[in-house]
């Protein structure tokens, strides 16, 4: 999986490419955990994300909890496969999808 982070003022955009699964979720966790200080808007760009597992969903949930206290979190460009996983798990109701 490729992770690209772009910080512009108080907005952090994290673009993911590949699969967010048991093997790659810890890598994303390390990239964002404890590194959201001063971030008011967290944007995940899933345009190139092919798959997300429960391990990936856990990372998103923990990021959402942090952002609930200090700003907002949006997931954009999720493909049909990833959106279906969000729908089946109920994460569509928890996360903001754009």
Q: Report whether 49 contacts 78 (CB < 8 A).
A: yes
Q: Mean pLDDT over residues 68-73, rounded? A: 97
- For 16-64, how does the pLDDT look when each residue is reduced to its tens digit (9 = 90+)? 999 999 999 999 999 998 899 999 999 999 999 999 999 999 999 999 9
Specify the pTM: 0.95
Domain spans of the chain?
Answer: 2-94
CATH homologous superfamily for the domain 2-94: STAS domain (3.30.750.24)
Q: Report whether 43 contacts 26 (CB < 8 A).
A: no
Residue 36's pLDDT is what? 94
């Amino acid at each position: 999986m490729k992770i690209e982070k772009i910080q512009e003022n108080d907005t952090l955009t994290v673009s993911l490419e590949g699969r967010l699964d048991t093997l790659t979720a810890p890598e994303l966790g390390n990239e964002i955990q404890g590194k959201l200080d001063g971030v008011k808007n967290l944007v995940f760009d899933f345009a190139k994300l092919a798959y997300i597992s429960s391990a990936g969903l856990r990372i998103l949930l923990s990021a959402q909890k942090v952002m609930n206290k200090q700003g907002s979190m949006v997931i954009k460009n999720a493909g049909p496969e990833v959106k279906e996983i969000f729908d089946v798990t109920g994460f569509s109701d928890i996360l903001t999808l754009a």
